[in-house]
Amino acid sequence: MIRYFARRLFHAVLVLFGVSLLMFLLQQAAPGDFLSEMRLDPQISPEMLHALRAQYGLDQPLPVRYVRWLGSVVRGEFGYSFAYDVPASSLLLPRVKNTLLLAVPALLISWLIAVPLGVLAAARRGGWLDRWFSAGTSFLLALPEVLIALLALMIALRTGLFPVGGMRSEDEPSRLADLLWHMVLPVGVLVLASLPTILRHVRAAVSETLGSSYLRAAEGHGLRRITLLFRHALPAAANPLISLFGLSIAFLLSVSLLVETVMSWPGMGPLLLESILARDVFVVLGAVMLSTLLPLAGNLIADVLLYIVDPRIRMES
């Protein structure tokens, strides 16, 4: 067991190391930096620019800068922001919490809807429910996520039912209720974006399981249909769905960055866009690293669930 999880953790660390090294190389290849644009300001002397480059370590070779940045990551700083002159972590961590406020509820709601609907659609292949299921998921898959977000914004503006932009209202006394009300629209968009893919995978996995001899034998013993589906077919189809659970975390985070930018939610998306435009290198690096770390954590959770559910993995490990 320890070797199994140590191997998975080692792979995750290697991925993080590779992503950080690639980002540093891309940053080096990009023309200019944050301080280059300051040369256009006549009030800033060349001596001050030279001092600032030395302060932020931009005059050092690339390997030295990379090692210094790794040291700041170990200290929990992720480098310093050029634009705000504070550790990048002080900007990133509050935004990560805001992103998780959208991604985690959307993930749970998507799976709570997709699992029973997908199982029922698989049980009634060719029926009216399955046809409506196929048409609805095809329609949602054809819609880009940005279009879903813009349509939700248009409905909110026309009806006035939901707040548009931000995560709090200044004149609202109940903070928790106001926060939840602001979350309805972006979480709903994330659910609509991720739901059709999860639904189709659940239906496909359960449909394949229902055709197995194991399920036919269980059905021949006179088990109730609902018991057969949810106590036998669904656990038998759990392995690919657990793997999909880890991948759906990465998908939701990528869509969340777009939805946050469109809907002005103060998460990682707007901060990453602002930092890219300002060439605030270390904030961009920190945002990319955290955006990589969260899906890796989701995959580790999926590995733990697979280890618990599937005895074959326990025997191999």
Domain ranges for the chain: 2-74, 99-316
pLDDT for residue 73 is more than 80: yes
Biggest alpha carbon–alpha carbon distance for the chain: 86
Rounded-to-integer distance, Cα 85 and Cα 145, Å: 34
Query: What are the structure tokens assigned to 214, written together?
Result: 């194991």
Q: Is 19 exposed, middle or buried (0-12, 13-18, 19+ CB in 10 A)?
A: middle
237-251: average pLDDT? 82
pLDDT tens-digit readout, 281-309:
888 888 888 888 888 888 888 888 877 77
pLDDT for residue 36 is more than 70: no
What pLDDT, on the 0 to 100 scale, is given for residue 167?
A: 76
Reference 151, options 180, 189, 109, 197; nearest CA is 189
What pLDDT, on the 0 to 100 scale, is given for residue 41?
A: 66
Rounded-to-integer distance, Cα 29 and Cα 39, Å: 20
Rounded-to-integer distance, Cα 107 and Cα 119, Å: 18
Range in 67-71, 194-198, 226-230 the model is least confident about: 226-230
pLDDT band for 106, please (50, 70, 90 cuts): very high
pLDDT band for 170, please (50, 70, 90 cuts): low
Positive or negative, the CA dihedral 184, 186, 187, 189 is: positive
pLDDT band for 171, please (50, 70, 90 cuts): low
What pLDDT, on the 0 to 100 scale, is given for residue 124?
A: 77
Q: Is 105 exposed, middle or buried (0-12, 13-18, 19+ CB in 10 A)?
A: middle
What pLDDT, on the 0 to 100 scale, is given for residue 37?
A: 65
Rounded-to-integer distance, Cα 76 and Cα 87, Å: 9
More confidently predicted of 247 and 219: 247
pLDDT for residue 311 is more than 60: yes
pLDDT for residue 317 is more than 60: no
Query: What are the structure tokens assigned to 287, written together?
Result: 């945002």
Phi-psi region of 265 (alpha: psi -120 to 50; beta: other; left: phi over 0): beta
Rounded-to-integer distance, Cα 243 and Cα 239, Å: 6
pLDDT, mean over the chain: 81
pLDDT band for 109, please (50, 70, 90 cuts): very high
Give the position of tokens 């985070």.
253
Reference 255, options 238, 242, 267, 239; nearest CA is 267
Provide the 10 A C-beta neighbour count for residue 306. 19
pLDDT for residue 276 is more than 80: yes
Rounded-to-integer distance, Cα 23 and Cα 112, Å: 36
Reference 198, options 233, 144, 246, 258; nearest CA is 246
What pLDDT, on the 0 to 100 scale, is given for residue 251?
A: 83
Phi-psi region of 256 (alpha: psi -120 to 50; beta: other; left: phi over 0): alpha
Give the position of tokens 């993080």.
16
What pLDDT, on the 0 to 100 scale, is given for residue 294?
A: 82
State the amino acid at position 62 in one-letter form.
L
Percent of the chain with pLDDT over 90: 3
Kind plus residue range of the DSSP H or E element containing 88: helix 88-123
Class of domain 99-316: mainly alpha
pLDDT band for 172, please (50, 70, 90 cuts): low
More confidently predicted of 117 and 49: 117
